[in-house]
Structure 1
Amino acid sequence: MFEYIKGDLVELNPTSVVVDNNGIGYFLNISLNAYSKLSGRKNVMLFLHQVVREDAHLLFGFVDAAERQIFRYLISVSGVGVNTARVMLSSLSPSEIQTAILSNNVKTLQSVKGIGAKSAQRIIIELKDKLSKDSDIMEFSIPQDNTTKDEALSALVMLGFSKNPVSKIVDKLYMANPSSSVEDLIKMALKQL
């Protein structure tokens, strides 16, 4: 299995790219999120997921490992194929998908074309535990240089709460409300503690 590809971006379309690596052009399927992040770039490094079928060998490209991991989780759900997972990643960011699953938000998942109520519920049921245990995705999906989140966490620790459980709550609240102020994050966290 391939891990990633580095090379020159030869062609960029909303659903695919061609990456030239040592004179060989690789056709990769991508999401709209990846497309927007790749616009204007000449050299790229994309994480890969390979799908081998009787009639085709397909490569899917991802800007970061977190997006690829969410894609892999989604295709592990019964009834969710690679095209549905790619549509989901085109409609919602990886952190929005993760937040929707962890907060049982069926409506957000249903907003994606082709995902009905039963599919959304199945995705939540099958992935909630996996996502809550996967610390790698949590680290990628939460911006690392966020002073608002850090200040809220520091304030709650100073109030006497243990850092580890408070950190998880603040992370989840920040993912759900990225534009919140420090005061708002503290108030929301206090309601859950």
Structure 2
Amino acid sequence: MIDYLKGEIAELTPASITIDCNGIGFFANISLNTYSILNGEKSAKIFVHEVIREDAHVLFGFADKHERDIFLLLISVSGVGPSTARVILSSLSAKELESVIATENVAVLQSVKGIGAKTAQRIIVDLKDKIKMTDSQGSIQLPTKADLSGTGHEAIAALVMLGFPQVASQKVVSAILKESSSLPVEAIIKEALKRL
């Protein structure tokens, strides 16, 4: 079992990271929050959860242990797989999700793409006793300078990697950029996740 990977960031997108560990490139799926933390860094230490299936070994990477712990709690809920958990952690930070669960805010969870009323309620019921609330609100600073056309393409690529159709992703991202052309890629993806 891999606990963490430490090395140079060979490639970083809003949905994945390739980290070079002594000449071996490990590809891991990441959340938008992890991307926000690692964006602009040359090297990183990411905590890993490995999903072993018949047809693949898939790595999910996290900027800190706390996000990985929340991810593991999410996938322990019936009906929530690793891809859904990653979408949830791309829409809400780990701290925001803890707050949503602690306050039993079903509506916020339902606003996440792919989460229906039953799944939202199941997440809250299953996890509310396991979540430890913390007082400090962790907020992530989003980068402000971004190349607009590049930003749009990056957002679309990330949405496709998260499992959304290319055409639908392009339509939504175009609409968001028309409304607000200066959004950073993370903000575009978060907004797109609400609309798709």
Q: Distance in 2 between matches of 1:70 and 1:109?
A: 14
Q: Deviations over 1:102-121 (max 9, x none)?
A: 11100111110000111100
Q: Distance in 2 between matches of 1:95 and 1:109?
A: 13
Matching residue of 1:112: 112
Report the structure number with the largest CA radius of gyration.
1
Matching residue of 1:58: 58
Which one-letter code corresponds to 2:12 in the other structure?
L
Segments of 5+ residues of structure 2 without an aligned counterpart are: 139-196
RMSD over equivalenced CA pairs, Å? 1.4
Q: Distance in 2 between matches of 1:43 and 1:12?
A: 11
- TM-score norm. by structure 2 comes to 0.68
Matching residue of 2:136: 142
Q: Distance in 2 between matches of 1:12 and 1:142?
A: 28
Q: Distance in 2 between matches of 1:68 and 1:111?
A: 22
Deviation at 1:3, TM superposition (A): 1.0
Q: Distance in 2 between matches of 1:88 and 1:121?
A: 14
Matching residue of 1:95: 95
Aligned-partner SS, 1:49 = strand
Which one-letter code corresponds to 2:110 in the other structure?
Q
Matching residue of 1:30: 30
Greater RCO (CA < 8 Å, at least 6 residues apart): 2
Which one-letter code corresponds to 1:57 in the other structure?
H
Q: Deviations over 1:105-155 (max 9, x none)?
A: 0011111000011110000000011114xxxxx56x8369xxxxxxxxxxx
Structure with the largest fraction of helix: 1
Identity %: 59
Aligned residue pairs: how many?
A: 138
Runs (4 or more) in structure 1 with deviation over 6 Å come to: none
Q: Distance in 2 between matches of 1:111 and 1:63?
A: 24
